Amino acid sequence: MSNVSVTRVSSARIPTDYGEFRLVYYNNTQDEKDHLAFCMGEDLTGDDVLVRVHSECLTGDVFGSRRCDCGEQLDHALQLIAQEGRGVLVYLRQEGRGIGLLEKIHAYNLQDEGHDTVDANLMLGHGADERSYELAARILEELGVKSVRLITNNPDKITALEADGIKVNDRVALPADVHPENSHYLLTKARRMNHMLNVPGQIVPTADSELVEPQSAD
């Protein structure tokens, strides 16, 4: 049984373009970071709650970087929760797939030299993905969530949450907006990290989960 725990410290009403959410701030026994839950709906207890577990990406979430799809995923997840009128976005402060902002910037420079996002992390001495979802599981438990419909393209996130005691009853896919600046990144996520991406004209999963190269426009 995990020794990691979270404590709700404070919360506040946050009106947004999508409707009114409540931002909940947590302390925890694992690190000193500010992990958050962005909640919509009066009662989040029970089964099949719509949930997004989102790892911080300052460049994408705040500055709108097109090197990744993180900001667009965050935006779309909030739209889905607002459409349902009930759900949770857990915001974990684990920048750069867990390596931190400075190391992510170093990784970006390696990517500009021609390395993909996985190799760039490995070249810096990190794992391809160092994130943990244990705190997300504890936050969902604190909110009273029993099982979730998880907004994700990442099968490892489903496996990790279930290993940490959160039952995932369904997966809700996130469409990927493809730009010239992120197409190679998305292809790498699908090929090397097994993300379930379906981007017309870019990444096409086949029935046996192999990938078909995108066809030339001419």
pLDDT one-digit tens code per residue, 175-216:
877 878 877 777 778 777 778 776 544 444 433 333 333 333
Backbone angles phi, psi at 154, to 5 degrees: -105, 110
Residues of the chain with CATH 3.40.50.10990: 6-94+131-175
- The mean pLDDT of 57-71, rounded to a whole number, is 93
Write the burial class of residue 10 (CB in 10 Å: 0-12 exposed, 13-18 middle, 19+ buried): exposed
> 6-94+131-175 in CATH: which number?
3.40.50.10990
Q: Which of 56, 33, 55, 51 is nearest to 41 (CA)?
A: 51
Mean per-residue pLDDT, 91-101: 95
**Residues 85/41, Cβ–Cβ less than 8 Å:** yes
Return all residues near 153 (Cβ < 8 A) that are at least 6 apart: 173, 174, 176, 189, 195, 196, 197
Active site residue 131: yes
One of 116, 131, 138, 164 is an active-site residue; which one? 131
Contact 131, 172 (CB under 8 A): no
Q: Which of 69, 116, 129, 164 is catalytic?
A: 129
Question: What value does the mean pLDDT take over residues 135-164?
Answer: 95
Identify whether 129 is a catalytic site residue: yes
Q: How many CB atoms lie within 10 A of CB 181?
A: 11
As a whole number of angstroms, the distance between CA 141 and CA 167 comes to 11
What's the rounded mean pLDDT across residues 13-35? 95
pLDDT at 60 over 80: yes
Q: Go through the chain and tell me how many residues it has.
A: 218
- Residues 115-147 pLDDT 10s: 998 999 999 999 998 999 999 999 999 999 999
pLDDT of residue 171: 95
Least Cα distance to 201 among 171, 162, 175 occurs for 175
